[in-house]
Structure 1
Amino acid sequence: MKTRAITGFFFIVILISAVLLGPYTFVSFFSLIATCCVYEFYRMVRTESIQPLLLLGVGVAALGLVLVSFALLAILPYSVLPVSIVAVLFLYIAALFRTTQHPIQDVAYSLFGLLYAAIPFIFFMGLGFVGDTYNAYIPLGFLILLWTNDTGAYLAGRSMGRHKLFERISPNKTWEGFVGGVVMAVVAGFILSQYFGIFPVWSWMCMAVIIGIFGTFGDLVESMLKRNVGVKDSGNILPGHGGLLDRFDGLLIAAPLVYLFLTLIDK
């Protein structure tokens, strides 16, 4: 428990610092995190019969994230982004030169790794540039709401949890914890609206609901993935916490939806 607490504290400090230190640090740090998540995904799912194209897949992810970062920072135009899509096609071609048992399955897992572990971070990075210029308080607010939801779900589930949410996927999650997490996130959203501004109160509270609901789904999807491949944690890079995917599972579904919500209300 002590190791977990210490790791969690320093990890949160690093994440907050990466957001607040400016746009270059923000996109560089989370591009690195996303690339590591793709690598972690490939390592997690790899078995004798499943052999994703690890190096090429990680390379394609890194290329795409760099191009997106340059576009967000206005170093390159957004028209360069299709280059990363073209790079994905090389995954199909590379599979022709391998002698694995199930090449199409390998390509499928390689593509899923990009979709699951890299693309959501592109949307998260996009949150910092919703208003065209970088605003650290939007991605910071997202992270605070995500952490608040996790904390509220844990406290409510531990004290009042009776009814299982998805017992076959995650036996410890309860409906009481789910509702408690969403409620605490909404309260946090109201508080953030008073200090961060940027959006009206209702927007922050809607963000909190989206994060509370779909952050929980992200957690459950990652639990389903780990059960499917027979692992307890996605990795061991964070002592007491597991892997990076274990820490960012809620972001993977919530970030794209929050980005879509904010771009719609910004019109």
Structure 2
Amino acid sequence: MQNLVTRSISALVYAALFISATVYSLESYTVLIALFSAVCLWEFNKIVNNKSFVPFIILPLVIFYQKSFISDKIIIFLLAVTLLCSIRLIINLYSKDVKYPQNNFDKFDSSLRYIIFPFIFLMQLPIINGTYNPYLVIYIILLIWTNDSFAYLIGKNFGKTKLFESVSPKKTIEGFIGGFAFAIIVACVISNYSSLFSLIDWILIAIIVSVFGTFGDLVESKFKRQAKVKDSGTIMPGHGGLLDRLDSLFFLSPFVYLYIHYIM
């Protein structure tokens, strides 16, 4: 019971901070995501035992100068290399023998493409035609929460078929389908309150969130399993590390960005 109270308070503080900073202004959203990215980078480097300080030099430079150097060509290049890294990490899930990162270069590369580059897409995601749309981020977080919550509830009560037992023994196919279905239902509700996108677009965004959010969670689980750790950190009482809460958001952000800014 005490653990449930701790988890609930921790989650409420996190949600209030995230929503307030996101809605208040682009500047407060930037500061929040920058702080979250720094914590996640620190936690990730601990997991993969990356002792290099270079990523911690690159991240502040990206934070402070992204508006100056970001152009369409650079965004497309960064998007391509980030998506290639994401696809590689997904493929690695299907191989028990593949361990990544294996060397210092891999550790640096994964820090760059798993944390730092997705930060850029999280920052650019809600900016459409030069206008900051904070509720786009809120709605995506809502879809992630819906997918995760119903995947857990349905998986716990009805799950029998393991999704990726070698990586995350508690995840089931039934849970994944449940989370997927409810995310689409919530997307339909969102479309009634948001004029930003059409119903079809919101449904497709929900599908991207459900599929790649789940992969993001599995990828982080594999990193932790390789490192033989349960959580990425202890910054969120009752929940573990911040990366444990944001792994899905970081992983899916380039895919949602690709759809919203280049496919829609």
Q: Residue 127 of structure 2: SS of its match in structure 1?
A: coil
Match of 2:134 among 115, 133, 136: 136
CA contact (8 A) 1:52 1:107 kept: no
Using CA pairs under 8 Å that are at least 6 residues apart, name the structure with larger relative contact order, 1 or 2: 2
Give the AA of the match of 1:6: I
Q: Aligned runs of 1:31-110 on 2, under 5 Å? A: 31-46=34-49, 51-53=50-52, 55-68=53-66, 71=67, 76=68, 78=70, 105-110=103-108
**What secondary structure does 1:5 align onto?**
helix
TM-score, normalised with respect to structure 1: 0.83
Contact 1:145–1:188 (8 Å) recurs in 2? yes
Structure 1 stretches lacking a partner, 5+ long:
86-103
Paired residue secondary structure (2:171): strand
Q: Which amino acid aligns with 1:78?
A: I
Tell which structure's C-alpha radius of gyration is larger: 1
Structure 2: gaps (5+ residues): 79-101
| Offset at residue 2 of structure 1 (A) | 1.4
Number of equivalent positions: 234
SS in 1 for 2:170: strand
* 1:5 aligned residue (8, 15, 20): 8
Aligned-residue RMSD, C-alpha: 1.8
Matches within 5 A, 1:198-213: 198-213=196-211
1:131, CA displacement in angstroms? Answer: 2.8
TM-score (norm 2): 0.84
**Aligned partner letter, 1:120:** P
Cα distance in 2 for partners of 1:27, 1:210 equals: 24
Q: Which residue of 2 aligns with 1:231?
A: 229
Shift of 1:232: 0.7
Please report how far the alpha carbon of residue 52 of structure 1 lies from its aligned counterpart in structure 2 after TM superposition. 2.8
The letter for the 2-side match of 1:105 is: N
Q: CA distance change for structure 1 residues 177 and 252 in 2, over 3 Å: closer, same or farther?
A: same
1:174 match: 172
Where in structure 2 are the equivalents of 1:107-256 lying within 5 Å? 107-256=105-254
2:87 corresponds to which residue?
none
Evaluate the alpha carbon distance shift between residue 77 and residue 118 of structure 1 in structure 2; reply closer, same or farther with a 3 A threshold.
Answer: closer
User: C-alpha separation between the residues in 1 aligned to 2:136 and 2:65?
Assistant: 22
Return the alpha-carbon distance in structure 2 between the equivalents of residues 259 and 38 of structure 1.
Answer: 21
Q: Corresponding residue for 1:28?
A: 31
Contact (CA 8 Å) 1:190, 1:205: kept in 2 or not? yes
